[in-house]
Amino acid sequence: MKKIVITIPFIVLGLMILCACGSGSQASDGESAQAAETHPLGQASVADDVSAKNILQVAIGSEPHSTLVAAVQAAQIEHVLVNAGPLTVFAPTNDAFAALPEGTVDNLLKPENKETLATILKGHAAPGSFNVEGLKKEARKGRKIFMANETYLEVIVDGEDIMVGGAKVIGTVQTSNGIINVVDKVILPN
Amino acid sequence: MNTYNKIVGYALTLSLLFVVGSCNQGRGNGGALGSGNAERVYVAPGEHDEFYGFISGGFSGQLAVYGLPSGRLFKVIPVFSVDAEKAYGFSEETKPMLETSFGTIPWDDSHHPDLSQTNGEIDGRWCFINANNTPRIARISLSTFETEEIIELPNSAGNHSSSFVTENTEYVVAGTRFSVPIPQRDMSIDEYKGNFKGAISFIKVDQETGRFDLSFQVIMPGFDYDLAHPGRGASHGWMFFTTYNTEEASTLMEVNASQNDKDFIAAINWKKAEELIANSDFETMATEYAHNVYDESTQMATSTIKKEVRTLDASKYPGLVYLLPTPKSPHGCDVDPSGEYIIGSGKLSASLTAHSFTKMLDAIENEKFDGDAYGIPVLNYDDIVGGVVQSGGLGPLHTEFDGKGNGYTTFFISSEVVKWKLGTWEVIDRKPTYYSVGHLMIPGGNSRKPFGKYLVALNKITKDRYLPTGPELSQSAQLYDISGDKMVMLSDFPTVGEPHYAAGAPADLIKPNQLKLYKLEENNHPHAVKNEKDTRVERNGKEVHIYMTTIRSHFAPDNIEGIKVGDKVYFHVTNLEQDYDVPHGISMIGANTSELLIMPGQTETFVWEPKKEGVWPFYCTDFCSALHQEMQGYVRVSARNSNVPLKWSLDGE
């Protein structure tokens, strides 16, 4: 034990000198290290102010979806929402989250529930582009939508209303990588 | 206790190794041991290079874009040769780019890229490059990294002393290597001397659009015009060209064009030429040349044949051209950042000749002439030489500058780069290249403001530098760090075709101007469709036009019936995406053409002439999305006399 303890300072000394010389001559080393720390989101961190906004960018810019965005960030699935897609997201409003039993959201946002939260959120996302026309077509043709949590959701057209998994579609936004359908309920697994 | 001492000993040794190792790496100029070179070319994942390198694609006819110092190849921009990957020369929109007065030509030999300049400094707007075989000059946008314009040069052959820009990009200048009968006619080759001529073309560049206009040609004696560079600073308004074959031989040139002790650098006063043109003091000559323009708004190229050119015969206009005697078939013609020295590299000589612009003007003023050639004054050699670099190398070819008072010259025969000092002409350093170096490039190295940090040597012979790939190895480049007193070779990297010249620019000059996508609302392509509702199929006799769209992850329409054997089917495909770096591709089984690769917001067209009945699939060729494999469709082809109605659909609707 003692031997090891004594050797460590020498190694540390060596490393310190290495670092000192390295950073003195190569400023870019420090910059890359910093870049690595500030880029944990992959594609979500790409700066692009020219392209049409993607699903995540639209959601972040939408005040009624601040709970959803917080949940996406807590589940660390931001990069899924900026991927090439195509993706359809059924986006519950803040009111929809607030309507859940008291404490549910706070509980889901805890780090230890990250996986559960991710599964619930994936139940709101489907590969493919389904706008209002697309949803009506799904209903008309009796097709179900395959969701990212590997469940199938039925689309029901009831008069003017389009219902998906018990939630009502109350708005649709076209984004660069898919569709956001705003819904009035959180879709929970059966 | 012994173990303890050993461990402490190891630790101390390790610490010392760290100290030695780390500090060696840290030294900028201590390249002798080769340590630390790796980190000087290392660009960490996700990080960007400091410089763009535009390296000619040589006999590929294209232009290759590299990052420096990493040596990573980013893109090969198709210019003079077809490129099936990008549908260049295959799509209906780009086919006109390769038209010439000789018809469509699918290939050329690209040589000397040069970047646009403002006040003698590179400005990041355009890159120009010459086609050597069928003489043409191209303009490449550094916003789209695509070829926007190609102009053919009449009266030229072997368009080699090209494409060099004047200090404010007033002109792109292009000189013929081979002299020919002007105008072309059927005559005996034996009558070359005195009858063949060399044309130097001045192409005016519109400062807003970059569009070309062949303003005038200076008709010169029948020499070979090898390379060129513009005057800058005090010598702005002059253009300098090396010549060889002042013997005017036409056969066994390696002997017969090497007889004269000195050939010339031709100094053309283009400001004087402009005055002559403005005063209508020129001859208009009938000729034929193609001018091809790609319009970013209609996303289509058009080709126009022009019928005449304005010419100025150098023998008839005193003060327009002077000849500067220069030893032994000079190749490179390079002008230092101040514009005072014009360097001629006599490729059969061991030394470099630096003519002084100040002395040249004085010799002209005081008529210090040594005879004339076809009425063009030859200046007296001793009265114009500013200095000679006695290099000790063999076969000098090209020189670039670092902006710190040094020149760097390549030597083909002795395979080396030699660094020397402007003014004192002393040799400071020399480093071998691998092997037989031709051009070299320092970013901005032939402008008023070089960025003297890296030098790229572009070699002709590769031999053992890489894993062997059969009898041919791609030409090698070597990157040198020139920030210190001595050059340090950092890395090797392979190139495309045989690179001749190259140009480099700081990334920050070009990065901010990048086009990321074509805005759909600005797409004025005559066959564009902006939404799926407008997609359709129209028949006009045997011609069928499919107006199709793409968006992740389907074509609209994707089921088409009523096509007949013998039809000519146009697929006009608009990519509805408005997202950076999300192109879609399309290809059709049996189509005698390439795929299309359609950028976001762009419309492109390919033609398919179905030859067999059946149901034939098409698909997206660029992995666009999670459902890319589902991005496919069918076309039903019926017999010529069938009654299957024309119909189209997506998802049955």
CATH of the domain at A74: 2.30.180.10
Instruction: Convert the pLDDT of each residue in B490-543 to its tens digit.
Output: 999 999 999 999 999 999 999 999 999 999 999 999 999 999 999 999 999 999
Measured CA to CA in angstroms, residue B503 lies from B294, B433, B447 at distances of 23, 19, 11
First and final CA of chain B: distance in angstroms?
87
Go through A146-170 and write b for each residue having 16 or more CB atoms within 10 A of its CB, e for each that does not.
ebbbebebebeeeeeebbbbebbbe
The radius of gyration of chain B's CA atoms, rounded to the nearest angstrom, is: 28
pLDDT at B34: 52
Q: Is residue A188 part of a domain?
A: no
Pair (A54, A32) in one structural domain: no
A176 interfaces chain B, CB cutoff of 8 Å: yes
- Pairing mode of beta strands B437-441, B454-459: antiparallel
B303 interfaces chain A, CB cutoff of 8 Å: no
Own/partner contacts of B65-68, CB < 8 Å, gap of 24 or more, are: B65/B145, B66/B493, B67/B43, B67/B507, B68/B443, B68/B454, B68/B456, B68/B479, B68/B504
DSSP state of A75: H
Interchain contact, A14 vs B25, CB within 8 Å: no
Q: Is residue A71 part of a domain?
A: yes
**Residues in chain A within 8 Å Cβ distance of B550:** none
Residue A28 has pLDDT above 70, yes or no: no
Q: Is residue A44 part of a domain?
A: no
Instruction: Convert the pLDDT of each residue in B615-627 to its tens digit.
Output: 999 999 999 999 9
DSSP state of B647: E
Pair (A79, A154) in one structural domain: yes
CA angle B621, B292, B302 (to 5 degrees): 70
Pair (A34, A53) in one structural domain: no
Interchain contact, A24 vs B22, CB within 8 Å: no
Residue B418's beta-bridge partner residues? B409, B430
In sequence order, which residues have a C-beta less than 8 Å from that of residue B247 and are 6 or more positions away?
Answer: B256, B257, B259, B260
B9 interfaces chain A, CB cutoff of 8 Å: no
Query: How is residue A69 written in tokens?
Result: 């965005």
Residue B147's beta-bridge partner residues? B140
Q: How many domains does chain A have?
A: 2
First and final CA of chain A: distance in angstroms?
56
Query: How is residue B523 written in tokens?
Result: 């797409």
Question: Which of B22, B46, B551 lies closest to A35 in CB terms?
Answer: B46
Pair (A1, A76) in one structural domain: no
Q: Is residue A72 part of a domain?
A: yes
Pair (A105, A156) in one structural domain: yes
**Could you give the ipTM of this predicted complex?**
0.80
Pair (A3, A74) in one structural domain: no
Top residue of B3, B5, B17, B18 to mutate, by most chain A CBs within 10 Å, is: B18
Pair (A172, A84) in one structural domain: yes
Closest CA to B408 of B399, B416, B421: B399
B2 interfaces chain A, CB cutoff of 8 Å: no
Interchain contact, A7 vs B579, CB within 8 Å: no
B13 interfaces chain A, CB cutoff of 8 Å: no
Residue B13 has pLDDT above 60, yes or no: no
Pair (A93, A177) in one structural domain: yes
Tally A–B CB contacts below 8 A. Answer: 108
Pair (A24, A53) in one structural domain: no
Chain B residue with Cα closest to A176:
B579
Query: How is residue A110 written in tokens?
Result: 């805890």
Q: Is residue A55 part of a domain?
A: yes
The pTM of this model reads 0.89
B14 pLDDT band, cuts 50/70/90, is very low
A61 interfaces chain B, CB cutoff of 8 Å: no
Measured CA to CA in angstroms, residue B28 lies from B193, B395, B444 at distances of 56, 31, 22
Query: Please, which residues 514-533 of chain B have a Cβ atom closer than 8 Å to chain A?
Result: 516-517
Chain A residue with Cα closest to B18:
A14
Pair (A58, A30) in one structural domain: no
Instruction: Convert the pLDDT of each residue in B62-83 to its tens digit.
Output: 999 999 999 999 999 999 999 9
Instruction: Convert the pLDDT of each residue in B383-403 to its tens digit.
Output: 999 999 998 789 999 999 999
Q: Is residue A94 part of a domain?
A: yes
Q: Is residue A189 part of a domain?
A: no
A17 interfaces chain B, CB cutoff of 8 Å: yes
CB atoms within 10 A of CB B234: 13
Q: Whole-number mean pLDDT of chain B?
A: 94
pLDDT at B35: 62
Measured CA to CA in angstroms, residue A47 lies from A43, B124, B318 at distances of 9, 22, 59
Residue span of the structural domain in which A105 resides: 49-183
Interchain contact, B25 vs A25, CB within 8 Å: yes
Measured CA to CA in angstroms, residue A49 lies from A55, B399, B520 at distances of 14, 42, 16
CB B270 within 8 A of CB B372: no
Q: What is the DSSP string of A18-74?
A: HHHHHHHH-HHHHHHHHHHHH-TTGGGG---SSSPP-HHHHHHT-GGGHHHHHHHHH
Residue B570's beta-bridge partner residues? B545, B607
Q: Is residue A21 part of a domain?
A: yes
Interchain contact, A17 vs B551, CB within 8 Å: no
A55 pLDDT band, cuts 50/70/90, is very high
Chain B residue with Cα closest to A29:
B44
**Residues in chain B within 8 Å Cβ distance of A3:** 3-4, 7
CB atoms within 10 A of CB B526: 10
Average pLDDT over residues A55-76: 95
Pair (A146, A173) in one structural domain: yes
Top residue of A6, A19, A23, A28 to mutate, by most chain B CBs within 10 Å, is: A28
Measured CA to CA in angstroms, residue B579 lies from A6, A85, A179, B582 at distances of 58, 12, 14, 6
Pair (A57, A17) in one structural domain: no
B21 pLDDT band, cuts 50/70/90, is very low
Interchain contact, B47 vs A32, CB within 8 Å: yes
